[in-house]
Chains A and B, each alone.
Chain A
Amino acid sequence: MKHLSRISPVSLSDPRGLEHWLQHMSARGLHLYHWSGALSFRFDRGEAAQLRYRLHPLQHGPAEPPADLVELYASFGWTYVTMISTLYCVFSSDDPAAQEPFTQPEELKIALGWVMKRRRWSLLGSAVYLVIFLSALLYSMLSGTLYSYLLDISPIYLSFLFAVPAMISVFCFLELRDLLHLSSSIRTGMFPPRGSGEAGYRRAIRVRTFFTSLVTVAAAAYLILDLILPSLSKKTTPLTEWEATIPLLTLSEIEGPAFRPAPFHLRDTGLDADYGVNCVMYQWSVTEPEQLWIDQSGEISGERATLTITYRRLLSPAYAQAEFDRLGRRYYDADELVWEEIIWPGVDRFLRSEQFDRDLLLLWAGDRAMAVEYHGDQDIGLFYGAIAAMVLPT
């Protein structure tokens, strides 16, 4: 027999809506046999049938269906189907004459009161989790800490920063809405009559579809803006053809007229295919409007000289600071380098170190961060002004 999974369009705080949905599914030939967790249900595909489903609220949240409850319902013509969490036992009957489980509103109010109490705690737990998550998110946005950490792993993880709270918010909103409705029914004793649930059920589907679409569109927009478009926007061009967007310090300026640049070429294999010699690789994303990787290479008096610049303009100074830390970790992690702090007007942080025969420079100024690696005979300290000018607003 073929099994299918379906997500319920109504929440667990709407037992009458769930009953209606299960009946609707049975009428389409999908018969419930298992609750898989959250709003996911497993169905057997079979003949379409007019089954009645009823949810019995459980008082103490047992792990197994109470045997005496199953027996009692069976003696009234109801078959046990499954448990939904520890909230409900689901029963079904194909006998139109089978006695309705709840014949009196007072007892229904008592039973739904148990559900109400436990769902309220569940909602409160979700709300607390949401507040903690949003606080942590806000802190990390302001300080750039989490951003930097996630960027180190993969930019895709950044999307969770927005998707997770969005999903929890939608869940909390819908849950609160259903709980208020349930609470009102319990307080007034006015339960929607059976058979009148169609409109409410359709409305629930519309509300959930709207929110699901909203989250999907937001996630898709994020993916497109921050992952796909940056990949498409990635371009590599020879340095000689590049219309510089920053006051670029060239290797010729450092080495003097005797410097001979190497011919432009791209590495033709592997992941570094976009990188090359004497070229600029640039791309953009929503959080990083300008990313440049600039390679300059050549020879002077038979000796090889290189200048590699990694430049980032970001959304905010907090992001730039995080990027500055991340660029720094590339070297910190490799070796315990000794960094010299350089004070330069307009630059927030300016560090210099040496690794093997290379000079390493890290800069952060406002919303820009940059790493410079220089290998050559000149004293790079003579060019601090030109280097700082690359990250200072023009």
Chain B
Amino acid sequence: MGSGDRGALTEPMFYVLMALLRRDLCGTEIADFVARRTEGRLALGPGTLYTILGKFQSEKLIAETEVDGRKRTYRMTSAGRTVYEEERGRLRCCLLDAELEDRS
């Protein structure tokens, strides 16, 4: 599934996929990662995070790897990685366009 099919990711969605790039994480660990990476600029509440995780699971961008009591751990699927890379490319193009505009 490409980003062309599903539209652009929202900022929180992009960071959730980024959080799962290197390792499997549970919901609170994802929220901690996003807060740390953005230095508190982007705070994910439990409603936002759970909605994104539910939507990504439906779209098979992430999958559950472990259920430990009430805690669930997620990993990114290859489809998720593709969507992440496409979004990253799109954002990079946006930035390059903006820099070119500054120089002109």
Contacts and interface: CB of A to CB of B under 8 A. Distances in A.
Interface string B75-89: 000000000000000
B46 A104 contact: no
Interface of A: 54, 56, 59, 67-73, 75-76, 78, 99-104, 106-108, 110-111
B54 A75 contact: no
B47 A108 contact: yes
B46 to A, nearest CB: 5
A104 B38 CA distance: 15
Contacts of A78: 46
A202 B54 CA distance: 34
Nearest to B55: A110
B27 A72 contact: yes
B37 interface: no
Given A68-B70, A104-B11, A111 B47 contact: yes
Contact of B52 (A68, A75, A107): A107
Contacts of A102: 45, 47-48, 51
B27 A107 contact: no
Contact of A99 (B43, B55, B67, B70): B43
Interface in B46-69: 46-52, 54-55, 58, 67, 69
Given A103-B43, A107-B12, A72 B55 contact: no
17 contacts: A56-B46, A68-B50, A68-B67, A68-B70, A68-B72, A69-B50, A70-B70, A71-B27, A71-B69, A71-B70, A71-B71, A72-B46, A72-B50, A75-B28, A102-B47, A103-B45, A110-B51
B44 interface: yes
A21 B54 CA distance: 28
Interface residues of B, number: 24
Nearest to A103: B45
Interface string B2-27: 00000000111000000000000001
A107 B28 contact: no
A54 B50 CA distance: 14
Contact of A76 (B45, B58, B72): B45
A99 B52 CA distance: 17
| Most A Cβ at <10 Å: residue of B11, B45, B54, B58 | B45
A75 B10 contact: no
A110 B11 CA distance: 14
Contact of A104 (B10, B50, B54, B70): B10
B48 A101 contact: yes
A17 B52 CA distance: 24
A126 B28 CA distance: 41
